[in-house]
Homo-oligomer: A and B are copies of this chain.
Amino acid sequence: MIFEEVVKRAVEETNGGLAAVIMARDGISLSQYLRSEIKMDLETLGIEYAGLLAEIMRASEAMDAGQLKEILLSTDKYQTILRILNPEFFIALIMSPGGNLGKGRFLLRVNAPAILKEL
């Protein structure tokens, strides 16, 4: 299944990758992968991300900035990449602060078309 493959590869092939999830805009996960040693509540994260996306999409519209494609969030504990797949789905990759952000972005971008084909 392409979904499982993509989330696993995004985590395993990105230096610092911790977890990845393909998620519907309503916060329900379609597929997720968590590095075995990591404890993370992906349910809560998904709900928060979905809420953020709704808010950011609304703001983009208000700013006449066009369609949202990608969001990167850096905090003390995590770097997170959110890539919009289509109006209904997005993929998130959560990394450690020192992780390879460029590689993570690349992997999400190049794998998006394969995911989209099956959505």
Number of identical protomers: 2
Stretch of A1-9, A21-29, A74-82 contacting B (4+ beta carbons < 8 Å): A74-82
User: What's the tally of chain A residues with a CB closer than 8 Å to chain B?
Assistant: 28
Q: A48-B59, A48-B63 are in contact. Are A74 and B71 (CB under 8 A)?
A: yes
Q: Is the CB of A76 within 8 A of B71?
A: no
In angstroms, Cα B73 to Cα A71, docked, is 5
The answer, among B52, B60, B65, B77, for a CB contact under 8 Å with A56, is B52
Q: Is the CB of B76 within 8 A of A66?
A: yes
Q: A52-B59, A59-B48 are in contact. Are A65 and B71 (CB under 8 A)?
A: no
- Interface hits, A25-77 → B, CB 8 Å: 44-45, 48-49, 51-52, 55-56, 59-60, 62-77
